[in-house]
Amino acid sequence: MPGTSDVRYLVLADRAVPYLLARVRWPDVAQAISGRSPDWLEDPGLFDLPYDPSVIRVSFPQAASVAAGWGRQLQPEVTGGALSYMRRMPANWSDLSPSERHAWGIEFAGKRRSLASPRGVRRLRSSQAKMAASAAPRASALASPPTADGNGQVAHVTSGPSNTATERRRHMRVRVDGRAHIRSGHATVSAGLVDLSEGGMHCVLPGAVPGLARGARLDGPFLLETDVTTWRICLNVAGWIAWHRSTAADTHFGVVFDTLDRGEILGVRRFLAAAVSRRGS
């Protein structure tokens, strides 16, 4: 990190849900906030955080989305005056002490929690069943011969009533009104989130957008948020664009995720249950 002039934004997540957001720049910036402690706290132990195997490096727009969910507006410039927290050294962010958990307001991290309220889960399952029933006849009528992409994945490219394409899906998607902050390389694209599953998502952007070609790889992570709740999840995986269609008015594209781990799958399910219930957690 010596010689790095830009601030790094880092996230720790529990079941894909961010619980700590840090900004680090050696040797002068080591601050973090959490949902229960939204005021910046100085901690020299944060200089060790970039080397923790569980950390997720995010872009500024993704970090700003996380902070907004906690009621904090993130500014590009780093200001001083934050309270200091003196801790044990060296820091071990994978095994925090009770005092450290209390200071950051993250006593829950790493503990088992329910995925969502029973009512939210029931609504999610009901929504998925209805979508499966309505999608079956359309898929049969619209499906075209499958094509293979450069990754060996098989996709169906069809043209439906909404003039968008649809790839062959292993998981039923659920309608979600929200946004997807997609990081690829040094750029972040903030697109409208149309639907989501454990395998991928459908996004839309206004106008024609260069660079979003079918088959293009996306580095990740993906930061997803809903319009009806304060839920945000961070999927630390890469992906690729399975289909793409542009018009003068907008650009629709489908993203297929690489394999999610168990925690990320649980995070997606909780996110969808909260979005379907429209009542949050």
Question: What local confidence, expressed as pLDDT, does residue 153 receive?
Answer: 39
Pairing of strands 250-257, 200-206: antiparallel
* 3-class state of residue 2 by DSSP: coil
Question: What local confidence, expressed as pLDDT, does residue 281 receive?
Answer: 44
Token pair for 35: 């949902």
Question: What local confidence, expressed as pLDDT, does residue 68 receive?
Answer: 95
Question: What local confidence, expressed as pLDDT, does residue 151 receive?
Answer: 41
Question: What local confidence, expressed as pLDDT, does residue 64 receive?
Answer: 97
Question: What local confidence, expressed as pLDDT, does residue 4 receive?
Answer: 40
For 118-277, which CATH superfamily applies? predicted glycosyltransferase like domains (2.40.10.220)
Question: What local confidence, expressed as pLDDT, does residue 120 receive?
Answer: 53
DSSP string, 116-180: S-HHHHHHHHHHHHHHHHHHHHHHHHH----EE-TTS-EE-----TTS------SS--EEEEEEE
- Please say whether the beta carbons of 201 and 254 come within 8 A: yes
Closest by Cα among 59, 58, 55, 60 to 45 = 55
Tens of pLDDT along the chain (281 residues)? 333 458 999 999 999 999 999 999 999 999 999 999 889 999 888 999 999 999 999 999 999 999 999 999 999 888 776 777 656 566 777 777 787 888 878 876 544 444 445 555 555 556 555 544 544 443 333 233 333 344 433 333 333 333 334 444 568 889 999 999 999 878 899 999 999 999 999 999 998 777 788 999 999 999 999 998 888 999 999 999 999 998 888 999 999 999 999 999 999 999 999 888 764 44
Question: What local confidence, expressed as pLDDT, does residue 116 receive?
Answer: 47
- Please say whether the beta carbons of 8 and 55 come within 8 A: no
- Parse the chain into domains and list their residue ranges: 8-104, 118-277
**Predicted model pTM:** 0.77
What's at 12, amino acid-wise?
L
Which class for 268: exposed (0-12), middle (13-18), buried (19 or more C-beta within 10 A)?
buried
Question: What local confidence, expressed as pLDDT, does residue 160 receive?
Answer: 35
